[in-house]
Amino acid sequence: MVNAISIDVEDWFCVYNLESIINKSEWGKYEYRADRNIIKILDLFQKYGVKGTFFILGWIADKSPDIIKEIENRGHEIGLHSYLHPLITKSSPDEFTKDVEKGLNAIIKTGIKQDIIGFRAPSFSLTKKTMWALDILRSFNIKYDSSVFPVGFHPDYGIIDAPLSPYSISDNMIEFPMTVAKVFGRRIPCSGGGYFRFYPYWITKKLLKNVNRDKRPAVFYLHPWEIDPGQPRVDLPMFKKFRHYNNLHKTEIRLEKLLKDFKFTTIKNILGF
């Protein structure tokens, strides 16, 4: 079975988990490390013949237009991850519309040739309360979303009873929900990111095999900063610190194992666009 792989293209200081410490208006003051981490991922994908979906933050596109074009030149899909990483749950429809428009314009301005049809919400903030965002995305010709986390335990995101396979979430909009395995009737996230860094690799592998055995394609996600143990450290409360810095030095090795053990392609391919 072929799965989807996606990269949420942002730098270490763009993360919601750091928002209480780092003000968005000051992103430009921090050490910019996205380019080299993106190239590392592109090289790894190339080594294993993998094509993936790169959800781009418009702010990064403004900063690194050549890198965005390089992603396209190497055959990958380009999607949108907003402009300034606002959670939809904390935005008004008007604010969301403006951010999406700004993000799309920044990415288009880099000169890429493909149409952008996919969206990933910052911090998976498409929830039951923010379904209004889908109409806005459709008005910008977005055809699929991959932001719903079908779990109920997380304080910031999740739709507890969402389907586990790609489904039609509203008129002319497909949802590819983040991947969870079903173990003894419970939904266990195994989609990537912090979960990938937290579990030993063999657990992720077992859970993803379990998903594929259920005849479901998985969608995996990672951020460029997650393979960068050399990133600057900021002083965070204990739980946030763990969430951001846990096992950064192991992620690149694990990613390489994952690319050997599973087949991956773009989300667009899996959904048949």
The smaller minimum CB distance to Zn ion, of residues 52 and 122, is found at 122
Nearest distance from C-beta of residue 121 to Zn ion, angstroms? 8
List Cβ neighbours of 122 (8 Å cut-off, separation of 6 or more).
16, 81, 82, 85, 86, 87, 88
Nearest distance from C-beta of residue 228 to Zn ion, angstroms? 15
CA-based end-to-end distance of the chain:
18
Q: What secondary structure letter does DSSP report for 145?
A: E
The alpha carbon dihedral of 163, 165, 167, 169 has a sign of positive
The smaller minimum CB distance to Zn ion, of residues 122 and 224, is found at 122
Q: What secondary structure letter does DSSP report for 48?
A: T
CA–CA–CA angle 94, 83, 53 (5° rounding)? 120
The smaller minimum CB distance to Zn ion, of residues 57 and 162, is found at 57
The smaller minimum CB distance to Zn ion, of residues 60 and 190, is found at 60
The smaller minimum CB distance to Zn ion, of residues 82 and 216, is found at 82
**192 closest CA partner among 1, 63, 28, 8:** 8
Decide if 83 contacts 10 (C-beta within 8 A): no
Nearest distance from C-beta of residue 107 to Zn ion, angstroms? 15
Nearest distance from C-beta of residue 15 to Zn ion, angstroms? 7
Radius of gyration of the chain (CA): 17
Which residue in the block uniquely carries the two structure tokens 């304080």? 155
Query: Which residue's beta carbon is nearest to the bound Zn ion?
Result: 8
The smaller minimum CB distance to Zn ion, of residues 122 and 158, is found at 122
Distance CA 158, CA 148 (A): 6
- Residues in touch with Zn ion (CB under 5 A): 8, 10, 122
Nearest distance from C-beta of residue 55 to Zn ion, angstroms? 8
Nearest distance from C-beta of residue 223 to Zn ion, angstroms? 7
Tokens coding 160: 């507890």
